[in-house]
Structure 1
């Protein structure tokens, strides 16, 4: 299927690994030009080298909690041309008891998971509106709809991303600019594997057994009873980004964890 992305300029934040890297790869396979972003130069360079055989890819490093770094990333990308697609993917997660979460924890999570998208979008979105065309996809989570008690701070930031997405989409009325969100469920990435490796070591149990029991014990409403693959999320992101009729919506790719018909 031709999604009409050939030669389109795409910026994917937090794309040095995980869902972001998988998304960058699918965009490249569709013929788009992609800007990789990561926290460190070494991460970006390694990702660019890994994907360069697929298509036209470049990259820029920076800490998006720093407004200057965010502006530099926007300038770097816009120097390559008008940004056709922006994927706000930067985010972190951790397990921590609610009562132990400090004000600093809350502010850090909002800064990384929400304000990073705000900082990039407030540069890229006005440029798209001026041209009258463009697409933004914000990464939320099933936890934004079904908050996780062991990750209340993370869940709240993902709920905020849903509100940010719809609010931004309201600004696009009458144009061909679109803003949507994608809600992955538990997805097998390097970060998730590291978490489960640590849990297996802590419990003194085999990793396979812990992973196998995770959905039975922790996510019993999952209909697929397995982790989502990063490539499955990536293909949803790319399809939503390319669909001219998709605007202001939240697209679930969470394996049916959310028990709802909508």
Structure 2
């Protein structure tokens, strides 16, 4: 039995598409027949090896750059974006307590991880106002959140604060606002724990750290990018998740009855 996700020929824009989760999300949506626009910041990376996508560069911190991204995506990939996957983000690797964190670090993390999503959502919704009915029918915003946004993360308070704002500020706000533009539009957040991506590679080399991280994780494994990408596709599907709205979906192999130990150390 085949399962139709209802995403064939739907225009999907994925930000941060050159990274681990982003790249796998691109591949997943292509397999489902979507028209994919893949955003990158400074380097194409493995996106250069993927055909049948439109790859576009933009600085998500810059208002004009984001506006141009949505316009160019529509012009080069068959019309306005229907599904926006806000996947990009930075996680400063050096441990810093809030007491020791520079204002420059805080401002830059917020600019990328929070202001960027605001600019993207605003440009997307403005473009959606002028989209045809078919584009609006599949309208969906999906944020990539984090367990850090739910439990906090010592030494990375900037990242945790930004993710929490996406998950508990923008998601419930926008799920009420999108329907004024697209009556069946939905906004949700998919929130991983640790994922085996290049961003986390150095941290996950520490086997003792990984053991602590999995101590309260019932599934006893670090997620793969595919684990996250598949849930994004399910959440984007108007067939499978057409009545799912304003949800924070934890994709962390965990349970709400457990403290996220690795985020508390």
Normalised by the size of structure 2, how large is the TM-score? 0.85
- Please name the residue that 2:88 is paired with: 90
Shift of 1:139: 1.0
- SS of the residue aligned with 1:59? strand
Q: 1:240 aligns with which of 225, 228, 235?
A: 235
* CA-to-aligned-CA distance 1:140-177 (integer Å, 9 cap, x gap): 11111110112111111111011111111111347111
Single out whichever of 112-121 and 251-260 deviates more from structure 2: 251-260
- Please name the residue that 1:50 is paired with: 49
Aligned 1:84-233 pairs, distance under 5 A: 84-94=82-92, 95-128=95-128, 131=133, 132-133=136-137, 134-162=139-167, 163-173=169-179, 175-196=183-204, 207=205, 210-211=206-207, 213-233=208-228
Summarize the Cα distance change of 1:68–1:129 in structure 2 as closer, same or farther, 3 Å threshold. Answer: closer
- Please name the residue that 1:67 is paired with: 63
- Please name the residue that 1:199 is paired with: none
- SS of the residue aligned with 2:215? coil
Q: Distance in 2 between matches of 1:194 and 1:70?
A: 31
Gapped regions of structure 2 (runs ≥ 5): 259-265
Tell whether the 8 Å contact from 1:97 to 1:151 is kept in structure 2 after alignment: yes
- State the superposition RMSD in angstroms: 1.8
| Count of residue correspondences | 241
Shift of 1:215: 3.7
Tell whether the 8 Å contact from 1:39 to 1:62 is kept in structure 2 after alignment: yes
Tell whether the 8 Å contact from 1:145 to 1:258 is kept in structure 2 after alignment: no
Gapped regions of structure 1 (runs ≥ 5): 197-206
Normalised by the size of structure 1, how large is the TM-score? 0.86
Tell whether the 8 Å contact from 2:223 to 2:252 is kept in structure 1 after alignment: yes
* CA-to-aligned-CA distance 1:74-126 (integer Å, 9 cap, x gap): 11112130211100111011232222112222111111001111111101123
Q: Distance in 2 between matches of 1:71 and 1:82?
A: 12
- SS of the residue aligned with 1:149? coil
Shift of 1:51: 2.0
